[in-house]
Amino acid sequence: MHNIDIGLVEMTLDVTKYAIDRITRTEPNLGVPKKEEELRELVGETITPKGIGGEKAFELWNTILSKAAVSIDHPRHLAFVPASPTRASIMFDLVTSASAIHGAYWMEGAGGIFCEIEAMKWLVSLTQMPKGSFGVFTSGGTAANLSAIVAAREYWRSKDSQNEELKGLIITSDGAHSSVKAMAKVIDAEILLIRSEEKLLGTELQTTINDLDSLQRQRLFAVVATGGTTNAGIIDDLDGIASVCEKEGLWFHVDAAYGGGALAAPSVRHLFLGIERADSVTIDPHKWLFTPYDCGAIIYKNPELAKRAHTQEGSYLEIFKDDGAVGFNPADYQIQLTRRVRGLPLWFSLAMHGTDMYSEAIETGLQLALDAGKLIEERTELELVRDPSLSCVLFRRKGWSPEDYREWTYRNHKDGVALVTPTKWKSGETFETVARFCFISPHTTQKDIQRILDTMK
């Protein structure tokens, strides 16, 4: 290991300078990937017995490797779900790493976990879930969904010993995120997708449940609704679904990984009516709450049920359950043991800016989607596929084939103009390839949108 020497101090300054430059740049490089062989040719061997030296490795990162990755906080990165971490949260991401805090147990991580608790209280307040509801930060929406569904399944099995032998069944809609299906695979549960053109309705859910045979009905333990589909920003009929789940005694999970940020936006908050009745809610601060990767969150109405499912036992862990170490242990409420205090960057940014600034920044994303809708309607060659929902806009270039969209995507990316990708939208029985914008960054402008639309003439 190196001693603290003058070279290391210089290296620290260089790296800090890089970080400062990166977070103060208003328009970062868009970045374009290269083939792995190409990159290897450009950088040569980097892992050697003696090391290539920090200066060299850093230069390779700075000049070659960092440019081969997309900066997804670029104002014209409107593909997938973009990101736009605040400078405050990025700075505190650096602090989180430098502080070397183990975030699994209060005994070790108290100060950091305290900050996570403060930030989590705000998230819980956005959902308006009842007193006693609480949650933890996870690596993302996938881990949050998995943690919730494991808690749901364990609860279902604990209610009736017959259930222990049964394969669980989950109902969701075909608009649900791919991670919901992936997570069902992980826990070997079956998933039943309700086909819905738009939002999933409570009445559709009820009909589906009524059509199950008696064994299927016994195997059914959870319903997953989406609070803002990733593809189109559609929010399911959460209130109607909550009523069905209550009546049928089912765990009601809301996946608001992308849309959850909009709970802080007064103009659309009413669309989430019913989320307060959920048993668990996923929200990804690393999507629409301006936090660096990776930061998801899972909130439970009854955290005790999550604890029953997730507490890990082990002789070397017993001290953490001791009275002398009493406090909130994030490890008990999700699938991960060792964890960074990944809610800390969000806490610092919230503390610094206040929650009003978050509401304003999210409203800006919503407004950008409405503005984009108008700009699209003004152009004869373009038309909206559906009205903008949350910050998603689906639109078509009249006469374009899937191949045209594909070429357009690559051309814009290669030219450094923008990264905007196509998606598919069902029209009747078939799927149509269309263009999609998703707005997160409050730094995107109407000019940016026009510039992209100009590439579709």
Ligand X SMILES: *Cc1c(COP(=O)(O)O)cnc(C)c1O
User: For helices 344-353 and 87-99, what crossing angle results, to 10°?
Assistant: 140
Residues found near ligand X in the complex (CB under 6 A): 81, 140-142, 177, 179, 226, 230, 255, 257-258, 284, 296
| Of 287 and 396, CB closest to ligand X | 287
Least distance to ligand X from the beta carbon of 178, Å?
Answer: 8
| Of 105 and 226, CB closest to ligand X | 226
| Of 255 and 279, CB closest to ligand X | 255
Least distance to ligand X from the beta carbon of 453, Å?
Answer: 25
| Of 62 and 336, CB closest to ligand X | 336
CA distances from residue 119 to 85, 112, 285, 331, 351 in whole angstroms, order as listed: 15, 11, 10, 17, 9
Least distance to ligand X from the beta carbon of 140, Å?
Answer: 3
Residues 6+ apart with CB under 8 A from 405: 397, 422, 433, 434, 435
Least distance to ligand X from the beta carbon of 272, Å?
Answer: 13
Q: Taking the chain, what is the end-to-end CA distance rounded to the nearest angstrom?
A: 58
Least distance to ligand X from the beta carbon of 177, Å?
Answer: 3
| Of 43 and 173, CB closest to ligand X | 173
Least distance to ligand X from the beta carbon of 81, Å?
Answer: 6
| Of 262 and 456, CB closest to ligand X | 262
| Of 105 and 258, CB closest to ligand X | 258
Q: Would you say 262 and 283 are in contact if contact means Cβ atoms under 8 Å apart?
A: no
| Of 440 and 456, CB closest to ligand X | 440
> Which tokens sit at 272?
């989430």
Least distance to ligand X from the beta carbon of 129, Å?
Answer: 18
CA–CA separation, 385 and 381 (whole Å): 13
| Of 77 and 177, CB closest to ligand X | 177
Least distance to ligand X from the beta carbon of 326, Å?
Answer: 31
Least distance to ligand X from the beta carbon of 415, Å?
Answer: 28
